[in-house]
Structure 1
């Protein structure tokens, strides 16, 4: 999962919890000045929450499809939570006849709204937990894929080294073949020279014998 998204997510969860507490305490606040101050703080917090939601949306859409789908599902829960906070804020700032009407609203609808908000937050927590489990499985799958890729790279490197070894052996064998061919040529040349020398020696011996015969014949005839 994106570390940037996780950073925005932590900021939003802290901000959402803080806004929920402020909305709850503001609804019971009698002091008008303090209430207006808290309402201003809640409005600023809601603006910050909107900014964080947009940042998470942009970050999620920039990631890979498998991770993006998971983060967008989580983001929908946060958007729903933010809408509930905005509804609570709208009820706090809506004009009413008097303080008694506000107290009645607190004693009736607000209790139900608070329960509904708590129930939705519980569902949100369960959804986040399921999504986190999916994230863990995705991270484990990515780790397995990376290990497989590393093993594949290692095997390819070994094959490349073996190929280089075979090529070097082939070159050496080719060099040996060339040396053998050269040796054969040298031996053939030497054999031819030996044969030629034999003929020359035979011719010389024959000439000497012929000369001796002629000399003997000449001496015997005289």
Structure 2
């Protein structure tokens, strides 16, 4: 896996967790404090979006099998970022003005308990979302490790096949060399046999001539 991608991923996960905490705390604030907190969250969302773009560019430059896993993780991160954006919009839209806050204060203890329950529900939802994101990240890392192991195994098999092909190629070269040497030996034997035939023919011719001469002298006497 790309070390660059892992660095961006770590930054994003830490930033996402931090933004979730800020969203939860922003829901408990009001007035200028709430506006300031929302402004900080939006700035963090821009940074998170930039990290996702960097991860996307890095993933698309990797090998296809690793690229597919990383792009699947990016889809999860993009979904997580969209959820954060939606939560920020909801918090910003529920920012009450001073008159509404006064009405809530005058509503009594029942309304205060209802607001507290709503805040607790949002905190629980944020915590659950963080847990789900962490589980998805762990599952994605597990899939990535399995993919890396498969890639290493495939490379090992390819290396063994290459060694076998090289060995077979060397063997073929050895066979070709032996065949060439055998052809040379056969050619040399053939030439020697031809030379021996000529020598034997010459000897036979000489013997025939000698016998003819001997017979001629004997018959002439």
After TM superposition, the score normalised by the length of structure 1 is 0.74
Work out whether 1:45 is the aligned partner of 2:76.
Answer: no
- The residue that corresponds to 2:63 in the other structure is none
Q: 1:19 Cα deviation (Å)?
A: 4.6
Cα separation, 2, equivalents of 1:176 and 1:104: 111
Q: 1:43 Cα deviation (Å)?
A: 3.5
Q: 1:46 Cα deviation (Å)?
A: 2.9
Instruction: Kindly report which structure 2 residues correspond to 1:47-126, keeping only aligned pairs within 5 A, or say none.
Output: 47-55=42-50, 58=53, 59=55, 64-92=67-95, 94-97=96-99, 100-101=102-103, 103=105, 107-126=112-131
Q: Of the two structures, which has the highest relative contact order with CA contacts closer than 8 Å and spacing of 6 or more? A: 2
Query: Alignment partner of 1:97: what SS?
Result: helix
After TM superposition, the score normalised by the length of structure 2 is 0.74
Structure 1 residues 18 and 111 mapped into 2: Cα distance closer, same or farther (>3 Å)? same
Cα separation, 1, equivalents of 2:17 and 2:49: 14
Cα separation, 2, equivalents of 1:195 and 1:98: 133
Structure 1 residues 112 and 122 mapped into 2: Cα distance closer, same or farther (>3 Å)? same
Q: 1:147 Cα deviation (Å)?
A: 2.0
Conservation of the 8 A alpha-carbon contact between 2:20 and 2:126:
no
Cα separation, 2, equivalents of 1:122 and 1:20: 9
Conservation of the 8 A alpha-carbon contact between 1:15 and 1:49:
yes
Q: 1:16 aligns with which of 17, 20, 23?
A: 20
Conservation of the 8 A alpha-carbon contact between 2:12 and 2:51:
yes
Q: 2:145 aligns with which of 140, 146, 149?
A: 140
Instruction: Kindly report which structure 2 residues correspond to 1:181-196, keeping only aligned pairs within 5 A, or say none.
Output: 181-196=186-201
Which string of whole-angstrom CA distances, capped at 9 and with x for unpartnered residues, describes residues 85-126 of structure 1? Answer: 33223333x323165335468824531331121111222133
RMSD: 3.1
Conservation of the 8 A alpha-carbon contact between 1:74 and 1:131:
no
Q: 1:175 aligns with which of 154, 177, 180?
A: 180
Aligned pair count reads 206
Cα separation, 1, equivalents of 2:77 and 2:118: 23
Structure 2 unpaired stretches of 5+: 61-66
Structure 1 residues 104 and 40 mapped into 2: Cα distance closer, same or farther (>3 Å)? same
- The residue that corresponds to 1:202 in the other structure is 207
